[in-house]
Amino acid sequence: MLKLTTSGESHGKALTAIIEGLPSNLQVETEEIDRYLALRQGGYGRGARQKIETDRVQILSGVRNKLTLGSPLCLAVLNKDYANWEDYMSPYGADVSARCLTKVRPGHADLAGVLKYDQTDARNILERASARETAVRVAAGTVARMFLRELGVEVGGYVRSVAGITDEEDYSFAQLQDVKSSELFMPDAFLCEKAKHRIDEIAADKDTAGGVVEIRVNGLKSGFGSCMSYGEKLDGHLAGAVMGIQAVKGVEIGLGFEAARRRGSAVHDEIFSENGKFVRKTNNAGGIEGGMSNGEEIVLRAAMKPIPTLMRGLNTVDFRTGEACRAATERSDVCAICACEIVVESTVCFALAQKVLERLGGDNMREVKERYARLP
């Protein structure tokens, strides 16, 4: 079973990921991991933290001469900003009175976390709840991306909507290949400029913006997932993984909520036979029927809420005194929709790799590829 465990705090020494269950002889290129880490840090509307950190991955175990060994793979992304925080974050003794946070932020994990974990400082919650943790999930997801590519499966995506500016166009997988060169990962240059202007307005108000990203999976064969047990459904597995990302508040597959507004004849993809193959001329199901991949392109969208740390703060209370106040401000972004797109892509890669290995098994890449090739 493919399993991922991450650890680390936003201003701690490092973020780490341990991947268990990878087959041996998968080629791992750190340059590609670093490229996706850089994409996660980019995008219009990001804050000052991204100028401090230049994320690079370190492989601590599980790989020799660029090939996985079949043992647990450990990845690390060091936090350069730790040098400025060591006095307050050191596990060996720290000044916990400094950088203490009691003015809890609405929309963040602060208040619920301090109550659940019996803390007197919300920093003990926010450091782990921070989206900084997603850096190492991108690293792990890129390893999964390399695995899927060996089977001919590619994962891509783009920003469909940001700050209320929405692109309603339907794009082919090929049309999205160069979209990451856009400042907002938007294929339409006019809409991208319009969205940038909207983000500038929001920044001037010391507010934040969210958006919607769309992910595509191209080349996956049918039959991954199951209709026999609700816990094994592919759409449930993917949606659950994506909902586990910080700030994601909704997931759609295929038509998603639009399907509820249409008649059945305008929703379900009719099936035809051409040259001995089953084909569909539409893909409203988003590549998944009955909890299983059907061979069509998987289409998944995720909605990201605006970042809860506003530079002007929101009304809240000091949880120690109960007094009304304005929420604390940490260094933050105005809009992190591009980061979200990369994190969702990476998360889908890992979740999909889990389902592929669940079905195929195999201790090494030769076995996995031979088993996948035999599938119809």
**pLDDT at residue 331, as a whole number:** 63
Question: What distance in Å separates the CA atoms of residue 216 and residue 298, rounded to the nearest whole number?
Answer: 5
pLDDT by residue (tens digit) across 4-63? Answer: 999 999 999 999 999 999 999 999 999 999 999 999 999 999 876 555 668 999 999 999
**Residue 127 belongs to a domain with what CATH number?**
3.60.150.10
**pLDDT at residue 79, as a whole number:** 94
What would the two tokens of residue 278 be? 């089953």
Look over the chain and give the mean of its residue pLDDT values, rounded to a whole number: 95
The domain in which residue 343 lies consists of 3-373
**Nearest 5°: phi and psi at 124?**
-65, -15
| pLDDT of 355 over the 60 cut | yes
Task: Output the CA–CA distances (angstroms, integers) from residue 87 to 50, 94, 262, in the order listed.
Answer: 22, 5, 58
**pLDDT at residue 332, as a whole number:** 72
Smallest Cα–Cα separation from 210: which of 157, 245, 255, 247?
247
Q: With contact defined as beta carbons under 8 Å apart, do 153 and 293 qualify?
A: no
pTM: 0.96
The count of domains in the chain is: 1
| pLDDT of 329 over the 90 cut | no
Q: With contact defined as beta carbons under 8 Å apart, do 213 and 338 qualify?
A: no
Cα angle 96-97-102, degrees, rounded to a multiple of 5: 100
pLDDT by residue (tens digit) across 202-241? Answer: 999 999 999 999 999 999 999 999 999 999 999 999 999 9
Question: What distance in Å separates the CA atoms of residue 1 and residue 141, rounded to the nearest whole number?
Answer: 16
pLDDT by residue (tens digit) across 241-269? Answer: 999 999 999 999 999 999 999 999 999 99
What one-character-per-residue DSSP string does 53-68 give? ----EEEEESEETTEE
CB atoms within 10 A of CB 56: 15
Cα angle 311-316-317, degrees, rounded to a multiple of 5: 125
Cα angle 146-152-156, degrees, rounded to a multiple of 5: 65
**pLDDT at residue 194, as a whole number:** 98
Q: With contact defined as beta carbons under 8 Å apart, do 268 and 280 qualify?
A: no
Confidence of residue 328 (pLDDT cuts 50, 70, 90): confident
